[in-house]
Chains A and B, each alone.
Chain A
Amino acid sequence: MIDLLRIHKVYSQGKKTLHALRDVNLHVESGKIFGVIGASGAGKSTLIRTVNLLEPPTSGEVVIDGQQMTRLNKRELRLMRRKMGMIFQHFNLLSSRTVFQNIALPLELEKLSPEKIHARVQELLLLVGLSHRAHAYPAKLSGGEKQRVAIARALATAPTILLCDEATSALDPQTTRSVLKLLKEINIQLGITILLITHEMDVVKAICDNVAIINEGHVIEEGPLSWFFGNAKTELARDFIESTFHLNIPEDYRQRLSSQPFARSHPLVKLGFTGMTVNEPLISQVSRLFEIDINILSADIEYAGGVKFGYLLAELLGHPDQYEAARRFFIENHVALEILGYLTELPHQ
């Protein structure tokens, strides 16, 4: 569907050159949602913009549906671009046109009759849930509504591919969720292939089937979401994964925490569950096998892409000799155990 082969992109400004993409290879399967994640300046926008040649690659091939994009002449390229929709971080709607007229624009290029345009726009408005705003100007819309208009406009010519350049980065978390939900619905209902770029792991986690990490112009890791959560090896990947989990030590615990064990202290631990972790009731097994009481303080565990993934904050209460045995047991079962510190026993125990 989308194939990027050995893509290099070099920006040159006077004598300075900047290697924004280095030997990028990417294969996006038809009907899938593919997410590319990376930090600011990693080359995400450059990458997605090479797909429809908004940014022609310095070298390498962009192949869409078997068509080599870089070989097309200007007219052929324009026709090809109409088979791909694109949405942007800042929506890029026309302020001089109403919602209806914005969505109608790509249809005007197809020289459709006004009746056909009208019918199609109504259909799209219904799809994105904005029928009641058809005659409003973009300035009067919320960010989420603007992005819905942009989505409707991008889908007007029934493209097979939708490119999303940081489509939710200008939106608040709740609006982000609703826009992502819409993208997922579109993906399922219309079977459209979506390539999105983002700097937020939450976006990837919410809707992507496949994910790639880009860093300094290199794709450093790539795979299905479930594989990614469990097997990503690079530190950057781990950081992105951790960024979606929000585990904080409660303040009163933090105050009682000491970095070294002392008499009658017990450990506070962070247990990390990954895709490798066996799906068994490990907590109660440890409790039984090693006679350790486990007090869970907080947990942020998600089921994404077919695997359980997340963290658990707990205090282990038992005989000091058993802590080491429990630690080994966890590690054998692919639960990462990190001792955050030691706590005094609670007064009532």
Chain B
Amino acid sequence: MLAILTHAFFETLFMVFCSALLASFFGIPLGIALEVTKPNQILSHPQLHHGLEIIINIGRSVPFIILLVAIIPLTRLIVGTSIGTVAAIIPLSVGVIPLTARLVEGALMELPAGLIDAAHAMGLSPRQIIIKIFIPEALPGILNSMTMTLVNLVDYSAMAGTIGGGGLGDIAIRYGYQRFDLPMMLATIFILVILVQGIQYGGNHLVAKYNHRSS
């Protein structure tokens, strides 16, 4: 039992962190693009903004379990197979990119408008404003959104498990639901709870570390 759980645990960790990495890689720039292309923002571009809005809204309106299946051709194209832990990373990342983008957008929206005035007055270019002002100033918010992304990924990874992704969710369904193995199910739930607690704790710690705003 322990061997099975340990193996599943590392599968979940692998899925969650690889997906988080991919989701951040695409989601954070997307969130920044979403914010800076707004009217009156530093790279105002209404059409592009509108396009991004539509894409992100579509992404957010598709239930993950549907996405999981619908995206199989893409997964095959990229990974070569649609089954297994590595293959699960594709739907997981795609599933949380819109969420990450929205959360990053929210973190940027909270920044005081006066910062942009000050930045322009100092002669910063839009690129410099993003790199030197937006990202460091919104860092606590961005770390917060990454924490939420991770927690969501733990949740989604259980679903991905059901279509052959492996991990703790897969164990819980196979042993707990299909074989009525109650101890095994409780053990997976316990591990998931600990994992989510750990992520949240680590996230909060990092946010506090980088948050120098008056509390």
A74's closest neighbor in chain B, by CB? B125
Q: Do A92 and B123 touch (CB < 8 A)?
A: no
Tell me, rounded to whole Å, the shortest Cβ–Cβ distance linking B130 to chain A.
14
Question: Residues 77-115 of chain A: 1 if any B CB is under 8 Å from the residue's CB, otherwise 0?
Answer: 111111011101011111111000000011011000000
CB of A88 within 8 A of CB of B122, answer: no
B137/A105 in contact, CB under 8 A: no
| Chain A hits for B114, CB < 8 A | 88, 90-92
The answer to whether B213 and A94 touch across the interface, beta carbons within 8 angstroms, is no
CA distance A43 to B188 in the complex (A): 64
Q: Is A137 an interface residue, CB under 8 A from the partner?
A: yes
Identify A92's interface contact among B112, B136, B139, B214, CB under 8 A. Answer: B112
A91 to B114, CA, bound (A): 8
Whether a CB of chain B sits under 8 angstroms from the CB of A282 is no
A49: which B residues are within 8 A, CB to CB? 117
Is A88's CB under 8 angstroms from B117's CB?
yes
In the bound complex, CA of A18 to CA of B200 (Å): 49
Judge whether A54 is part of the interface by a CB distance below 8 angstroms.
Answer: yes
CA distance A5 to B139 in the complex (A): 43
- A/B pair count, beta carbons within 8 Å: 67
Q: Which residues of B contact A79 (CB under 8 A)?
A: 123
Whole-angstrom distance between the Cβ of B140 and the nearest chain A Cβ: 8
Given contacts A77-B123, A95-B214, A138-B212, 13 further A-B contacts (CB under 8 A): A49-B117, A54-B117, A80-B123, A86-B117, A86-B118, A88-B114, A90-B112, A92-B118, A94-B136, A96-B139, A97-B136, A139-B212, A153-B122
Contacts of B125 in A (CB 8 A): 78
Question: B121: CB under 8 A from chain A?
Answer: yes
Give the top 9 A-B pairs by smallest Cβ distance, nearest first: A92-B118, A139-B214, A86-B121, A92-B114, A81-B123, A78-B123, A137-B212, A82-B123, A96-B136
Q: Nearest residue in A to B113 (C-beta to C-beta)?
A: A92
By a CB distance below 8 angstroms, the chain B residues around A85 are 121
Give the chain B neighbours of A95 by CB distance below 8 A: 137, 212-214
For chain A, residues 41 to 87, give those with C-beta under 8 angstroms from any C-beta of chain B: 49, 52, 54, 77-82, 84-86
Cβ contacts under 8 Å, B118 to chain A: 86, 88, 92-93
**Chain B nearest CB, measured from A59 CB (Å):** 21
Taking CB atoms, residues of chain A closer than 8 Å to B109 are: none
Q: What is the distance, in angstroms, from A195's C-beta to the closest C-beta of chain B?
A: 13
Bound Cα distance from A77 to B213, whole angstroms: 31
Is B50 interfacial (CB-CB < 8 Å)? no
Which of A54, A93, A137 makes the CB contact (< 8 A) with B121? A54
